[in-house]
Structure 1
Amino acid sequence: MTPNTEQLFRRLQQSRFRSRFHLGASERQYCLDKGAETIQRHAADFIARRLAPQEPANDGKQTPMRGHPVFIAQHATATCCRGCLAKWHGIPAGVPLSQEQQAYVVGVIFQWLVREMNG
């Protein structure tokens, strides 16, 4: 984990809202059943479809609070909407996410999931 990412995770833990998100037993089992590669693919697909467009549909409400481990991770890591991306990650709203930005978001989500699975 890079120093900037470690700092981000410390900041997220200080947020009462962000720090309340954790994987439940069913989400943990889903991760185990599907495997890391599939979960990463799901994250990349969700980000590309729901977050990457210049003006995502239902922005601010496009990420469910439950139903998939990636959704929980998105809320925990403030990668759930363009407003949170701007506030927490310095990625401006109103422009499409670049491939590099999408990879960054997926990486943050995946790091959180790994921490949860190992914690």
Structure 2
Amino acid sequence: MTKDEWYRQLFERLDNSRFRSSFHLKQKDIDYINEKGLDTIRQHAKDFIAKREAPAYIANDGKQTPMKGHPVFIAQHATATCCRECIRKWHKMQPGKELSQVQQDYLVDVIMTWIQKEIEGQEHKI
């Protein structure tokens, strides 16, 4: 399966989840992204994944990602990259083992793909 095929299937499944599809960026999130730039937002996503998701064991797993406060947090819930259990279920990465750099880069790419789709969706509403 190619990356494009995997992403298409993943985002279709996420869109079909009532919970995952309920997350959207608010105007203040988009303003923040526009102010900081996508490169900075990507760096924030890398930092959040490295600190909150990559370790083999996370003391507060399932509660480490807030539901608001940063566009990446919203994207993590929308893309099921918010905790190791969701990452296991949706992205097939087993808990109890530190995430490799390739796995971390993949999760960041999924988050940034969702953010880009949200921004483009907002532009079409104007």
Q: How does 1:1-119 map to 2 (within 5 A)?
A: 2-119=4-121
**In structure 1, distance between residues paired with 2:100 and 2:39:** 22
Corresponding letter in the other structure for 1:18: R
**In structure 2, distance between residues paired with 1:40 and 1:28:** 14
Corresponding letter in the other structure for 2:83: C
Question: Normalising to structure 1: TM-score of the pair?
Answer: 0.98
Asked if the contact 1:21/1:76 (under 8 Å) is kept, the reply is yes
Question: Normalising to structure 2: TM-score of the pair?
Answer: 0.93
Report percent identity of matched pairs.
58
Q: Which runs of 5+ in 2 are unaligned?
A: 122-126
**Cα offset for 1:28?**
0.5
**In structure 2, distance between residues paired with 1:57 and 1:107:** 25
Corresponding letter in the other structure for 2:85: G
**Cα offset for 1:3?**
1.0
Corresponding letter in the other structure for 2:117: R
**Cα offset for 1:57?**
2.9
Tell which structure's C-alpha radius of gyration is larger: 2
**In structure 2, distance between residues paired with 1:32 and 1:56:** 32
Cα deviations by residue, 1:16-60 (Å, 9 ceiling, x for unpaired): 000000000100100000001000000000000000000123100
Q: Which runs of 5+ in 1 are unaligned?
A: none
Corresponding letter in the other structure for 1:69: P
**Cα offset for 1:98?**
0.2
SS in 2 for 1:2: helix
**In structure 2, distance between residues paired with 1:5 and 1:56:** 27
Corresponding letter in the other structure for 1:99: Q
